[in-house]
Structure formats: C-alpha cells, structure tokens
Amino acid sequence: TDLERLEFMRRKKSEIIPRCKCCWTTPRNPRFGMDSEEDLFDPAAALWRWQHPEGEECDRCPYCVLFPALDKLYKVASHASLLQVAKHPERFKEDTKAWRNASKEFAFAQVALPKDIVR
C-alpha cells in the first residue's frame, strides 16, 4: 500500500538511490561543441529522433519515448529477429508514409543490431 511504501522510504532513506538530473533530460550528444558538424542530440538516440522528427524537445520529454522503448524491449525479449527491417527505405519513394516508417525502423536497427545483420 502507499502507507507501507512511505514508511519504507522513511526508514531506508540511505539505501534508496535518488534519480540524477540525467534522468530528466533529453539524450544530449557528448561531442556537441567539439566539432561544428556535431548535432545537439545523440545520433544513436533512434527512438528519441523517431518521436521528434524536427529535433525539438516536447513537454513530455524524456517520457515520450517510454512506450516505444518498451515495445522494442518486448520484441528483443521475444526474439531479436523481430527488430530486423522488413524492407529497406530505398525501396520506397521518399517522403511517403511507408518510406518514413521504413527509415525509422532502419535507424533503430542500425543502433540495436550488429552491422553484419543490418542490410
């Protein structure tokens, strides 16, 4: 219950690890500012870029990627081949819905899977 949880937190304050400031932020690029071509956001943050195509933070950041991340984790837990891209984005005409979806899946697969698996 809530009262038990509150009492546990009071008794075990020293054992509870608080959230750091990094838990409340967007995925920043550690190399930003070192090179003029580096983007502010981490290039490996495929799920964040999927939710923010214009590259702007939203009001719900970083929680806006929670459900897409859980979906991908579920697929990994079920079978890793579910993350493979069904069709390469080059097969579709640019700026179509199918091309955007394939591009998003391909960007995530490039980060999540080894290079020899991603075609």
CA distance linking residue 105 with residue 87, whole number of Å:
9
Q: Which two tokens stand for residue 80?
A: 């890793």
Label residue 90 by pLDDT band (50, 70, 90): confident
Closest of 87, 51, 99 to residue 72, by C-alpha:
51
Residue 18: its pLDDT value, please?
66
pLDDT for the residue numbered 38: 67
Q: How far apart are CA 1 and CA 3, in angstroms?
A: 5
Q: Would you say 47 and 65 are in contact if contact means Cβ atoms under 8 Å apart?
A: yes
With a CB cutoff of 8 Å and minimum separation 6, the contacts of 31 are 38
Mean pLDDT taken over the chain: 77
Q: Is the pTM of this model over 0.85?
A: no
Q: pLDDT digits over 19-63, tens only?
A: 666 666 677 777 676 666 667 777 777 888 888 888 788 888 778
